[in-house]
Amino acid sequence: MKQRGVFITGTDTDVGKTAVAVVIVRQLVRAGLRVGVYKPVASGVSTAQPIASRDSTRLWEAAGRPLTLEEVCPQMFSAPLSPPRSARSEGKIVDEKLIRDGLIPWTTASDCVVIEGAGGLFSPLSDVSLNADVAGEFGFPLVIVDAARLGAIGRTLALVHAARAYGLHVAAVVLSQTHSVEGETVGDPTHGTTLMHNSAIDLSLRLENLPVAVLAFAAESIDPQINWVDLNP
């Protein structure tokens, strides 16, 4: 049977991928599935940074601590640069084979796997591979995340079209509210939450048959609910 799962990617770095991944993982865990979590490589992981704030830790906790934290993200580098540049600054290189092989323990131990890429879809994971190359090899449908701020329509449409031209299956779009919007005037169309919902509507109209959802800041669920395990092409 084909492995179920999703590959969470973004229009850019820092657009809220981990927040979306964590909510998807929790939803799948609540549905009674054994959920694997995998981040092939991470950079900008400072030793000074509290371990709990790391993407890999957040994913692992959300999944109920399956396997080991090391297996969630087998390759971490500290400089806040692309992974290959970050590795090089430590005199290392990103292990191309380990990017692929690191998924194996998860496919055997889980009913479905939630993978979070590093940076945007066309950001490099290693000297050779982009996120898009690895996502294509893994064969999981893409969930494209963008930050729910002005520009989301253009950024998201550009990435959906580029992903499809690259031969990838885009399964859903999620606009992720990366900051609290307290204090803004409700009803104002420039208000963060109104802008997020309107952007999702405008994207839906332009992306036929593609679910477009939103994740409000610190929300427990993605709206509307999506069945993440049945997205496989």
Interacting residues toward Mg ion by CB under 5 A: 17-18, 55
Between 113 and 207, whose beta carbon lies closer to Mg ion? 113
What is the rounded distance in angstroms from the CA atom of residue 56 to the CA atom of residue 37?
8
Q: Are 220 and 232 in contact (CB under 8 A)?
A: no
Q: How far is CA 143 from CA 6, 74, 105, 184, 191, in A?
A: 7, 22, 22, 29, 25
Burial class (CB in 10 A: 0-12, 13-18, 19+), 189: exposed
- Between residues 4 and 58, which has the closer beta carbon with respect to Mg ion? 58
Residue that is written with structure tokens 């496989």 in the block: 232
Sign, Cα dihedral of 206, 161, 35, 38: negative
What CA–CA distance (Å, rounded) separates 215 from 22?
Answer: 11
Query: How near is the Cβ of 14 to Mg ion at its closest, in Å?
Result: 8
Q: Smallest distance, Å, CB 17 to Mg ion?
A: 4
Which of 2, 39, 92, 97 does the annotation list as catalytic?
39
Minimum Å gap between C-beta 154 and Mg ion is: 22
Q: Quick check: 42 and 55 in contact, CB under 8 A?
A: yes
Closer residue to Mg ion (CB): 44 or 207:
44
CB 34 within 8 A of CB 71: no
Cβ-based nearer residue to Mg ion, 57 or 221: 57
Q: Is 39 among the residues known to form the active site?
A: yes
Pick between residue 17 and residue 155 the one whose CB is nearest to Mg ion.
17
> For residue 173, what are the CA distances in angstroms to 4, 52, 88?
18, 27, 33
Ranked by CB distance to Mg ion, the top (closest) residue is 18
Smallest gap from Cβ 55 to Mg ion, in A, equals 4
Show which residues are catalytic: 39
